[in-house]
Structure 1
């Protein structure tokens, strides 16, 4: 015979009630079945656990010790059930989220903070990726959720509205364009640019628009973050084009921000998943939090 929680639970119940009949009634089990379980426990441990008298049942010294140990075991098992249920409810676990460079430092921090305050036992793995790579990774189940700038893609994913952002032109205060309030992209091409690394959607967009204008994008310096882009603009290495939220976040003294007069300057950020109805409970909680946050 193997020790099992049902026998321990029945034993504790008999000790508490003082009778087999009382324990059987509370546990909705026949009294002979309870007696059989108790006999099997005594056989397993090789010692009497209960003393039976005409006044009822009392535990022996071994029975008292077993009741203490059994209560601890049963409490631990209840805790296991509660903790595992927390996973199925989405209250505990982890979720992997891929976010593009435009959103990771602007929109995401307050969203992650509010979610973590509500679900402190959920771990969020937030990784920066290029927009196209995000669509492919979510489709391949590398991550459950992605946040990216809407763009043409062939990935088999669901896409949901999230935010809009607007591209701005950041220039040094002493730059020839600094006295302007707004500027067309073609005009910026007459000047050197500080550009984001190759592979980003914005870099691709700028190259495409420069080609349409019959001009060349003069990339003086290439950087990997908007923080570095702003600092390079500040020291006069060129003009930079970046989302307004990032420009405000990293904007430094000695720079000016201009409106970019282009239809493509207004961009849509979206959330993607493979299938919303197939998300894990914890991923579904974060997905719904994202959609409800705007």
Structure 2
């Protein structure tokens, strides 16, 4: 049995307005077409729904039962339309975000928090990855949005500017370099280095800088967070490099000193990576717009 929602809508209008002609006029349908739909509905349900008299029509007992069911069903159908409109407009949905540790530590907690306060029906699934893995996840459609350092993005990736950050050197208080306010990274290569996990963009940059200086990078320990890196440096296990915006608050609570590096590569741009901004789901596009604003 197939019941057309329009037929139910017309049936409700007939009962509420007391005549087929009035229901037809309010719905801009010919009276004969309305009457035919009601006859087909009665045939499908195998029971009379309307009592027809010279004064108009009134629902039969079966018609009264259908009236309550139809009203509830039509409200549910309207709710489906409203909710789907919310999804198409981006106010509902899910966004998969992969980001590197710099973006997660410095910017995303506040920015995603503000976004979710504005769009509480959107779910943001955030995962930390190194920059190269972020780009691969976007290419493989494992992530809708990627945030990382991508100076030369591969084909198939659209890059949008996000935030600038600056890398600085951190050393323990009392270290031989602790009195320096600024220096070249090459001058720090006599010391052991505490690095981030393998493949991180900062580790790769340190390796390139040491290669250009013709000096080995004495990478002694690798950790998975900036807090762990700072604590290893505080303990005297080496020096480290991290974003200035992360290092300065840590220096106020830990026994480390922040030193500016006179290197062009220390000024970085974090970028938002997508396959295509125009092809993003509505919720993901809303998030990208929010992050860029």
Asked whether 1:274 is paired with 2:268, we answer no
- Residue number in structure 1 paired with 2:77: 77
Residue of structure 1 in register with 2:290 after alignment: 289
Shift of 1:24: 0.5
Aligned to 2:10: 10
Q: Which stretch of the first structure deviates more once superposed, 125-134 or 70-79?
A: 125-134
| Partner residue in 1 for 2:181 | 181
Q: How does 1:159-238 map to 2 (within 5 A)?
A: 159-238=159-238
Task: Say which is worse superposed, 117-126 or 140-149, in terms of deviation.
Answer: 140-149
1:259 aligns with 2:221: no
SS in 2 for 1:248: helix
The alpha-carbon deviation at position 174 of structure 1 amounts to 2.1
User: Once structures 1 and 2 are overlaid, which stretch shifts more, 118-127 or 13-22?
Assistant: 118-127
Give the C-alpha shift of residue 250 in structure 1. 4.1
How far, CA to CA, are the matches of 1:151 and 1:6 in structure 2? 56
* Number of aligned residues: 292
TM-score computed with the length of structure 2 as normaliser: 0.94
**Cα contact 1:168–1:241 (8 A) shared by 2:** yes
Structure 1: distance between partners of 2:254 and 2:145: 36
1:117/1:276 CA distance change after superposition, 3 Å? same
Q: Secondary structure at the match of 1:151?
A: coil
User: How far apart are 1:220 and its partner, in Å?
Assistant: 2.1
Matched position secondary structure for 2:147? strand
| Deviation by residue 1:198-233 (Cα, 9 ceiling, x = unmatched) | 201110111111122222211221111112101111
Q: What TM-score comes out, normalization by structure 1 length?
A: 0.94
Secondary structure of 1:268's aligned partner:
strand
Cα RMSD after superposing both structures: 1.6
- The unaligned stretches of length 5 or more in structure 1 are none
Separation (CA, whole Å) in 2 of partners of 1:91 and 1:157: 25
Matching residue of 1:103 = 103
- Equivalences for residues 104-123 of structure 1 within 5 A: 104-123=104-123
Give the C-alpha shift of residue 249 in structure 1: 4.9
1:124-172 CA-to-partner distances (Å, cap 9, x unmatched) read 1212122122223323332222111133343321212111101111111
Distance, in Å, in 2 between the alignment partners of 1:98 and 1:248 is 25
Structure 2 residue ranges without an equivalent (≥5): none
Aligned residues of 1:164 and 1:269 also touching (Cα < 8 A): yes
Please tell me whether the aligned partners of residues 132 and 153 of structure 1 are also in contact (alpha carbons under 8 angstroms): no
CA distances 1:77-134 after superposition (whole Å, capped 9, x unpaired): 1111111121211121111122111111211111111111121111112121221222
> Is contact 1:90–1:280 with CA below 8 Å preserved after alignment?
yes
Q: Answer whether contact 2:90 2:282 (CA < 8 A) is retained.
A: yes
The change in CA–CA distance for 1:255 and 1:102 in structure 2 (over 3 A counts) is same
